[in-house]
Amino acid sequence: MARDFMAGDFVVGDAAAAADFAGAAGPAAAADDDPRGYAFAADARPVRAATGTTDAALLRPGSTYRSTLPADGAAHYRLDLDATSNAYVSATAVPDPGAALAASDGIKVSVQNTDSRSCSYDTATIGGSRSPRPLTATGAREADGPLCEGAGTYYVVVERVGPGSGGTPWELELGVVTEPRLAQAAATRAPEAWDSASPAPLTDEPRRRPGGAGFDSAAPLGEGVWTAGITPGQTLFYEIPVDWGQQPYATAELGSAGGGTGHSYAVAALRLSLHNPVRALVDDDGTGYDGRQRSATLAPLPPVDFANRYASADRVSGMRFAGSYYLVVHLAAQVAEKVGPGPFGLTLRVRVQGDAQDGPLYAGRSAPQGLFDVTGGEREAASVGSGGGGAAMAAVAVGGFGAGTLILVGLAVWTVRARRLGAGGAARSG
């Protein structure tokens, strides 16, 4: 997925070479160039979508898969789960860029037991823009749920919803995650009080940070103000390390376009969403666009807490574990017709508030490894992002840091991702 860089690859003090290295090490540079505009995970295993449960292929925890969702009917997959782990299955469906879609077109994901009872289900729809974009929905089998207790076979069912069914098949990326039980009992009610006030907006000098083209190639961000270019129909992915006890805040601003005020209005043009480490949607916001600057802001979210899962509101229950949270930004395809072809200036204002706290003690290992941890590697990758990516790394080289140090900083972006893709994991989260 990424080239292995060695100390002899460039000479410290050569700013141009250092900048080239930084660009090559960036997650967007390694994205799989798929014609649909979504970068599927490089290590995704192909798996056949079965039309029924009898022939459903097994999905293993800690792995990522690539499949196809038929235009009609449903895709079925199988899980073999133990009695104590929570399991989460995310499905990201990718419509063709030129597909004619309705606002209610989308996908539904459910995890079911052998008696067809749903442990959970989740839907994701295109929305008012009707712009083709990656759609992610996440199903779960919680071990203490009333309908899905016990070890055994469970099924993942992914299906199309809305009037657009019957068109072309959609490509799918599937991720399977397990969370072990706690080593000791913890609170079973979500915290009732937390700081819900929005912090003062960041006014730092903006730093450029292009986004990735998928979850696997999401560009790491730390706290700060970031800029990128975005074109109509494009979706950008970023990841933010958020530890136990911390609260993320984010605003996306679409800059003004040239050509005066003679543009048409594009409905639901900009969409900003936040997904948690298992890719479940936590919160989103959006705005229209007519060529004048507009912004979308996530509502204040609670600090990451294990007990948040017992809340009824998705935007609270989604903040249930530490790890990488994903900012996903989409600019509707219709903006090209209404305003212009772009690219348009995008500014992200990101804040992570609160001191990191110790997480719960798990009795086993997550799959993939360390998914619910925030490591030094992730913080290092975010700090590289906050330094402005390639420009900052070039400056480090000119400043005379050792080649080995610079290489380790650059590779931090990739070692974090490699860690997640392994099996097993640490018993301690936090």
By CB atoms closer than 10 A (0-12, 13-18, 19+), residue 162 is: middle
Q: Which residues pair with 110 in a beta bridge?
A: 121, 157
What pLDDT is stored for residue 81 in this prediction? Answer: 97
Q: What is the pLDDT of residues 36-83, one digit of tens each?
A: 589 999 999 999 999 999 999 999 999 999 999 999 889 999 999 999
| Boundaries of domain holding 50 | 45-178
What pLDDT is stored for residue 28 in this prediction? Answer: 42
pLDDT > 70? residue 422: no
Would you state the structure tokens that stand for residue 68, as one six-digit string? 């196809």
Tell me whether residue 428 is in a domain: no
* DSSP classification of residue 361: B
pLDDT > 90? residue 307: yes
* DSSP classification of residue 213: S
Q: Checking DSSP bridges between strand 86-94 and strand 170-179, what pairing results, if any?
A: antiparallel
Would you state the structure tokens that stand for residue 392, as one six-digit string? 């900052």
Q: What is the pTM of this model?
A: 0.84
CB atoms within 10 A of CB 367: 21
Q: How confident is the model at residue 346 (pLDDT cuts 50, 70, 90)?
A: very high
* Same-domain pairing of 136 and 25: no
Q: How confident is the model at residue 160 (pLDDT cuts 50, 70, 90)?
A: very high
Question: Taking a C-beta distance cutoff of 8 angstroms, is the pair 398, 234 a contact?
Answer: no
pLDDT > 50? residue 407: no
Would you state the structure tokens that stand for residue 358, as one six-digit string? 């110790």
Q: How confident is the model at residue 427 (pLDDT cuts 50, 70, 90)?
A: very low
pLDDT > 90? residue 350: yes
Tell me whether residue 332 is in a domain: yes
Q: How confident is the model at residue 402 (pLDDT cuts 50, 70, 90)?
A: very low
Maximal CA-CA distance, the chain: 65
What are the CA-CA distances from residue 7 to residues 21, 208, 404, 408 (Å)?
11, 26, 6, 10
Contacts of 30 (CB under 8 A, 6+ apart): 1, 2, 42, 217
Q: What is the mean pLDDT of the chain?
A: 84
Contacts of 32 (CB under 8 A, 6+ apart): 39, 40, 42, 213, 214, 217
**Of 254, 226, 248, which Cα lies nearest the Cα of 392?**
226
Q: How confident is the model at residue 165 (pLDDT cuts 50, 70, 90)?
A: low
More confidently predicted of 107 and 376: 107
* Same-domain pairing of 133 and 17: no
More confidently predicted of 203 and 158: 158
Tell me whether residue 1 is in a domain: no
* Same-domain pairing of 249 and 382: yes
What are the CA-CA distances from residue 370 to residues 75, 189, 190, 382 (Å)?
29, 25, 24, 17
Going edge to edge, which strands form the sheet with 266-275? 219-220, 235-242, 323-331, 266-275, 281-289
CA distance 215 to 278: 11
Q: How confident is the model at residue 32 (pLDDT cuts 50, 70, 90)?
A: very low
Q: Spell out a b/e string for 168-204, using b for 16 or more CB atoms within 10 Å of the CB, else e.
A: ebbbbbbbbbbbbeeeeeeeeebeeebeeeeeeebee
Q: What is the pLDDT of residues 117-128, one digit of tens each?
A: 999 999 999 999
Question: Average of pLDDT values for 321-325?
Answer: 97
Contacts of 376 (CB under 8 A, 6+ apart): none
Would you state the structure tokens that stand for residue 307, as one six-digit string? 């007990």
* Same-domain pairing of 17 and 96: no
67 in helix, strand or coil? strand
* Same-domain pairing of 121 and 232: no
Tell me whether residue 188 is in a domain: no
For a pLDDT cut of 90, what percent of the chain falls above it? 70
What are the CA-CA distances from residue 380 to residues 7, 221, 359, 363 (Å)?
19, 10, 20, 28
Domain total of the chain: 2
Q: How confident is the model at residue 322 (pLDDT cuts 50, 70, 90)?
A: very high
User: Within 13 A of 382's CA, how many CA atoms are on the CB side?
Assistant: 24
What pLDDT is stored for residue 382 in this prediction? Answer: 81
* Same-domain pairing of 373 and 401: yes
Can you point out the beta strands (E) in 165-293? 170-179, 207-208, 219-220, 224-230, 235-242, 247-254, 266-275, 281-289
Q: How confident is the model at residue 376 (pLDDT cuts 50, 70, 90)?
A: confident
What pLDDT is stored for residue 13 in this prediction? Answer: 32
Question: Taking a C-beta distance cutoff of 8 angstroms, is the pair 71, 159 a contact?
Answer: no
Asked which of 31-35, 103-107, 350-354, 379-383 is least confident by mean pLDDT, the reply is: 31-35
* Same-domain pairing of 146 and 74: yes
CA distance 57 to 52: 10
* Same-domain pairing of 26 and 49: no
CATH number at residue 133: 2.60.120.380
* Same-domain pairing of 222 and 81: no
Asked which of 149-163, 216-230, 409-423 is least confident by mean pLDDT, the reply is: 409-423
121 in helix, strand or coil? strand
Tell me whether residue 191 is in a domain: no
* Same-domain pairing of 18 and 107: no
Tell me whether residue 36 is in a domain: no
More confidently predicted of 134 and 163: 134
